[in-house]
Structure 1
Amino acid sequence: MTDNRQYPALRQNRRSCSDGHDNAFPHDAMTVVPTRYPGRWISVVVCALLLIMLLHSMVMNENFAWPTVGHYLFSPTILAGLWVTLWLTLVIMLLAIVLSVAIATLRLSTNPLLSGFSSGYIWFFRGTPVLVQLIFWYNLAALYPEVFIGIPHVFTLYQGSTNDLITPYTAAILGLGLNEAAYMAEIIRAGMASVDHGQQEAARALGMNKGQWLRRIILPQAIPFIIPPTGNQVIGMLKTTSLVSVISLSDLLYSVQSIYSRTFENIPLLIVACIWYLVATTILSWLQARIENYFRKGKNTTA
């Protein structure tokens, strides 16, 4: 039991309540004290000091050779390599997305042969290093000196030397595209599996075949779940294309290497490559955010 003699303010408030006043604690008598976070401000100061120290060391360290970085930043050789990197990223991701939709559909098939084939594809390409696959495709002529596409003694679509067919561009697209399709297939399969199975049954009850309910019902609802990881894969592929430098394809990294192999200015030219990779990934991240917001419109509406 509370002793009112020890709390005169409490007695006064209770009298106010007994007199019929609804507001026992007047608003003007209350003082709102904001919550203080001293640790937050301390961490901000520490991070700011560390950032200033880092920038100061980078600017004052002559070994970074910032004038050399500025000289080569817009070099035609560097820009040509950047274009090759962007072009490869676009073509490889388009190939990977088309293949991954087919592989993911086969993975969800009730046919054990088709499902087993797609599972084996994913198992192989995810289980071997992408650099090994890239070099393998580049040296395919060691296994098959000639390529024949068609039906023997009936018609021929292509017949010729493998070296003529598997150029560095072809090897890069096949090596990176087939590998990326295995990862994208799992992303698309997970997105398709997120759609309620009852909608598939309803589509079949309406007389839709598998292609129709996949195109009209499943994929439109799975896209919002597929886009975020797909955006990450695109950004990752932009950086993974740097591996094509090992097969002498003139991407951004190979262009940088070709310059510093003559000038021996390794660090400044690697900084140039990092700057352009950061610019490209920043733009891709911005595009990913815009696309995600577009497909999230219907979910953000409230009643």
Structure 2
Amino acid sequence: MPEPQLPTVVDGTAPPPAPEPPPTAESSAPAAQRVIPLRHPWRWVATAVVLVLCAQAVHGLATNRFYQWDRFGYWFVRPVIVDGLRITLEVTAYSALLGLAGGVLLALARLSRSPVLRVVSWVYVWLFRSVPLIVVLLFLYNFSALYRTLSLGVPFGPSFVHFGESRLATDTVVAVVGLSLNEAAYAAEVVRAGLLSVDQGQHEAAASLGLPRRYQFTRIVFPQALRAIVPAYVNQLIGLVKSTSLVFYVSLLDLFGTVQSMGSTYPGDVVPLLLVATVWYVILTSAVSVVQFYVERSYSRGTLRTVPPTPLQRLRAGLRDLRLRVRTEAAL
């Protein structure tokens, strides 16, 4: 084996050391390390506890004979229940349309330059938001005791048209009028908030075009205000659907009134009948909630960078993330 050569010495001095080679990308790169995902043990514990509680609740509903699910299935789609459901839908639809129309008028009056219109609108909203709905319905139901006949004519002068109040104030009319008057007070604030949400520059731009005030409102201001009005008012419809249960107290047999009547006739089926009403109200409010979600999603296109995903899209994304996480943990 050859011996290593020693550096030669010239004039008694050693030669300078050889320069080190420049660092390469491989030598400068940090050593590869395994990335360990962050663990969330308490999240899994909370999930397990919630699943156990939900399973116990479902087990209690399914096995408790007190609920009488066989009688529930018998009453759920009976013609008398379906007729009551139809009345509930009719009263809700009429009240929603009339309440929204009245809310728009009240909001315009509240924002007008006339002090009389502003005061009258404010008093109306303040009064009907302060009085319970059941009181309004009972007052209208007994309205004929105060005014037996109604007339149109000159105030403090002759009357031109007379008609009996009892002919017009049927049970359905009383229910629709009472719900509409109450709904208009809340819809007025929703519409007013939507109109105030429109930027002031839009009003100024509309006025600078020389358009009449009516066209400024219908073509420029109101379409932009709908972005804030529609989602909020659809949410208001959920409360209206549940409020229709009070029309039973004015002798209108809607869904809740029919359930109450059948419960009095068949005392042993009170609980199944209440469950029937509960499930139908849940179905109706869920349908309105679905409409609300898609309306809000549609009107958010101009304000958000990305449209909120639908529940189906969220489910697909969750399954995709779960598969990716399982593959990552299996590889580690």
TM-score calculated relative to the size of structure 1: 0.88
Query: 1:191 is matched with which residue: 179, 182, 194?
Result: 194
User: 1:23–1:126: structure 2 CA closer, same or farther, 3 Å change rule?
Assistant: farther
CA shift for structure 1 position 155: 4.2
Structure 2 contact 231–295 (Cα < 8 Å) conserved: no
Cα pair distance change 1:79/1:25, threshold 3 Å: farther
Aligned residues: CA RMSD: 1.8
Give per-residue Cα distances to partners, 1:153-177, cap 9 Å, x unaligned: 5743xx2221221111111111110
Aligned to 1:83: 86
Question: What 5-or-longer segments of structure 1 have no aligned partner?
Answer: 1-17
Q: Distance in 2 between matches of 1:132 and 1:170?
A: 16
In structure 2, what is the Cα distance between the partners aligned to 1:111 and 1:100?
A: 18
Letter in 1 for 2:276: V
How far off is 1:300 after superposition?
Answer: 4.0
Query: How many angstroms apart in 2 are the aligned matches of 1:118 and 1:251?
Result: 31
Which residues of structure 2 form unaligned runs of 5+? 1-21, 307-332
Change (3 A) 1:284 1:23: farther
Of residues 217, 220, 230, the one that matches 2:220 is 217
User: Quick one: which of 167, 173, 178 aligns to 1:175?
Assistant: 178
In 1, Cα distance between equivalents of 2:159 and 2:144: 25
- Measure how far apart 1:95 and its partner are: 0.2
Question: 1:296 Cα deviation (Å)?
Answer: 2.1
The one of 119, 122, 133 equivalent to 1:119 is 122
Name the counterpart of 2:266. Answer: 263
The structure 1 residue matched to 2:251, chosen from 227, 242, 248, is 248
Which one-letter code corresponds to 2:104 in the other structure? V
CA deviation map 1:127-156 (0-9, x unaligned): 111110011011100100111134575743
What percentage of aligned pairs have identical amino acids?
39
SS at match of 1:207: coil
Residues 155 and 148 of structure 1: CA distance in aligned 2, closer, same or farther (over 3 Å)? closer
Q: Which amino acid aligns with 2:278?
A: C
Match of 1:292 among 288, 291, 296: 296
Name the larger-Rg structure: 2
Counterparts of 2:293 and 2:274 in 1: how far apart (Å)?
Answer: 28
The AA in structure 2 aligned to 1:97 is L
CA–CA distance in 1 between the matches of 2:177 and 2:152?
17
Residue in structure 2 matching 1:50, options 50, 53, 56:
53
Q: Which amino acid aligns with 2:62?
A: V
> Shift of the alpha carbon at 1:295?
2.1
Out of 281, 284, 287, which is 2:285 matched to?
281
* Alignment-mate amino acid for residue 282 of structure 2: L
Secondary structure at 1:160 match in 2: strand
Q: CA deviation at 1:120?
A: 0.9
Matched pairs, number:
282
How far residue 294 of structure 1 moved from its aligned partner, in angstroms, is 2.0
Structure whose residues are more often helix by fraction: 1
